Structure 1
Amino acid sequence: MPELCCAGQCWSVEAGANLLDALNLAGHRVPYSCRAGSCHACMVRCTAGQPEDARPDALPFDQRAAGWRLACQCRVRESLNVEVYDPEREGIPANVQHLDWPAKGIARLRLQPQRPFRYNAGQHVLLWTEQGVARPYSLASLPAEDAWLEFHVDCRNPGAFSEAVRHLSLGDTLRLGNLHGGALHYDPLWENQPLLLLASGTGLAPLWAILREALRQGHTAPIRLIHVGYGYLGEALEALALSQPQVEVERVEEGQEWLASLQPTSRRTIALLCGGDGFVEAASRRLFMTGLPRGQIFSDTFVSAKHDA
């Protein structure tokens, strides 16, 4: 049986055991949310030995070269020494600069990082609370314009992270973990192509940033944004649409039928989608059926939280 070592403790595990489960069963409390290799909450660093990795493409080359792996995607086939991700050591501290509730149960959180933090519109980052709760959230801020990092947190359902957000005060510290994503982005080469932005719930966050990035870069073709579900940022979106004649904003109530009538204005349309997996899958299928090539459909799916502590 292979031996697993972490934080000075060594123990035997069954060959083929899931690395995340083996660490948590031994009391090392590695956080996770999706168990699909998407949230990056369960990062560990292998200092000796190599696990069997089902998602070697989930992390950038430099992180893999440094030994980082996603524990949920790894199985123990040989003896391993691992280090659990330590947000105190690896993360960037960021202070709560602003917290308000633009809609019932939706928190708008603005953080001021204590060190430079580079990102692109559409990316997401792992946020850590002081209690060790980690969850990925998309950035709603625009790096070229905003002096803060903005996140939209859905606190309508119970959860360790949403509960922590409800108790935050100005000046409190969170930590910024791994930055990832990039499927949602704005490419200057799209300047003359129509944009279709589809969001459900707080999937609006990255698309709000991308919409402003497109306008900042002088996008000239029409931009249509459809937001499905509970509404927030309504006034800001309406003001933007009034000031930018090529921008059209539409809000769809949750449960309202709209997908069957969705039709891109052109085969050259670039579609950007963000929301729950069911929303993204259904909207992507509809766009493809209307004739939009798959290479013009970009999406980011909010994984369902199975565990966020």
Structure 2
Amino acid sequence: MPELSVGDRHWSVEPGCNLLDALLEAGQSVAHSCRAGSCGACRVRCLHGEPLDARPDALPASERAAGWRLACQCRVSEDLGVELFDPAQQTLAAEVVGHDWLAPEVLRLRLAAEVPLRYQAGQHLLLWRDHSLARPYSLASLPGEDAFLEFHIDCAGRGGFCDHARRLRPGDPLRLSGLQGGALRYEPEWQERPLWLLATGTGLAPLWAILREALRQGHAGPIHLLHLARSSTEHYLADALDGLAQRHTNLQVTLLEHSETGAWLQAQRPSRDTLALLCGAPARVDALARALYLAGLPRGQLYREPYITAAGA
């Protein structure tokens, strides 16, 4: 049986067992969230041995070269020694500089990092409550323009991080790590093409940043932003979006409730060169992508980033 070791502790595990489960069952403190290789919370560094990694592309090449792996995506097939991620030493300190409610259940959290952070519109970060709880959130701020890091947190449910976020006040500390980019981004060569930005709930956060990045770069093609919400009160950036639409004639904004989605989709006829960026709840993102594909949009022009979160986030 393979032997797993952390520091001075060594124990035998079943061949092929999930590395995250093996660590947690042995009482090791490993932050984790999505278990899908998306959030990056459960990273560990391999000191000797090599696990079977189902998602070798989930971390940047530089981190993999340094031995970092996502425990939730690894299986133990041989003797393996790992070092746990230490949030106290390997994260960036930040301070709350803004805490307000954009809608009854949507919290806008603004942070100032102790060291300026270089990032791109569409990327996300891990926010740490403490050493054992971290959650990924997309950046809604625009690099080079906003003097803070902004996050939109859906607090409709109850959970460890949401409950903590509700109680935060300006001046309170948080820690940050795991800056990553997924499918969402803006490319300069897209400037002449029709751009559709489709968001559900707080999936609007990264698309708000990408929209402003596209406009800052002088996007010349038409832009259509769709925001789907549970009710009209949850269109939390309606005024800001309206202001942008009034200043940019190529921007069209549509705000719908979920019950109106079907009729909207049936009426859409995207051109063959349209690019669509989708973000939000997995089931709704999948439904939107499927409908756009059936309407004639090639899969290679659909950029999807579903929010994958743990229960009790």
Q: Tell me, yes or no, if structure 1 residue 300 matches structure 2 residue 290.
A: no
Cα separation, 2, equivalents of 1:154 and 1:207: 15
Cα separation, 2, equivalents of 1:198 and 1:138: 15
Which of the numbers 235, 238, 241 marks the counterpart of 1:237? 241
Distance 1:303 1:76, change over 3 A: same
Alignment correspondent of 2:165: 165
The letter of the residue matching 1:272 is L
CA deviation digits over 1:43-93, x for unaligned, max 9?
A: 111111111111111111111111100001111111111111111111111
Deviation at 1:213, TM superposition (A): 0.3
Sequence identity percentage: 55
CA contact (8 A) 2:186 2:213 kept: yes
Q: Tell me, yes or no, if structure 1 residue 108 matches structure 2 residue 108.
A: yes
Matches within 5 A, 1:57-206: 57-130=57-130, 132-206=132-206
Deviation at 1:116, TM superposition (A): 2.2
Q: How many equivalent pairs are there? A: 308
CA contact (8 A) 1:262 1:286 kept: no
Cα separation, 2, equivalents of 1:26 and 1:182: 32
Cα separation, 2, equivalents of 1:103 and 1:264: 32
CA deviation digits over 1:246-304, x for unaligned, max 9?
A: 11111111333435325244221111100111111111111111111112111111013
Cα separation, 2, equivalents of 1:307 and 1:33: 10
Cα separation, 2, equivalents of 1:240 and 1:67: 45
CA deviation digits over 1:171-207, x for unaligned, max 9?
A: 1111111111241111111111111110000000000
The letter of the residue matching 1:44 is V
CA contact (8 A) 1:20 1:71 kept: yes
Which of the numbers 255, 266, 271 marks the counterpart of 2:271? 266
**Deviates most, 166-175 or 147-156:** 166-175
CA deviation digits over 1:102-147, x for unaligned, max 9?
A: 1011110011010121110001111111353101110000002111
Normalised by the length of structure 2, the TM-score is 0.95
Alignment correspondent of 1:12: 12
**Unaligned residue ranges in structure 2 (runs of 5+):** none
Which of the numbers 260, 279, 299 marks the counterpart of 2:284? 279
Distance 1:8 1:169, change over 3 A: farther
Cα separation, 1, equivalents of 2:170 and 2:7: 34
The letter of the residue matching 1:191 is Q
Cα separation, 1, equivalents of 2:267 and 2:43: 39
Cα separation, 1, equivalents of 2:222 and 2:269: 11
The letter of the residue matching 2:222 is P
Deviation at 1:98, TM superposition (A): 0.3
Alignment correspondent of 1:35: 35
CA contact (8 A) 2:195 2:224 kept: yes
Cα separation, 2, equivalents of 1:105 and 1:84: 34
- Secondary structure at the aligned position of 1:240 is classed as helix
Matches within 5 A, 1:245-264: 245-258=249-262, 259-264=264-269
Cα separation, 1, equivalents of 2:309 and 2:98: 26
- 4+ aligned runs moved over 6 Å, structure 1: none
Cα separation, 2, equivalents of 1:177 and 1:235: 32
- Secondary structure at the aligned position of 1:239 is classed as helix
Normalised by the length of structure 1, the TM-score is 0.96
Cα separation, 2, equivalents of 1:147 and 1:91: 20
Cα separation, 1, equivalents of 2:271 and 2:50: 49
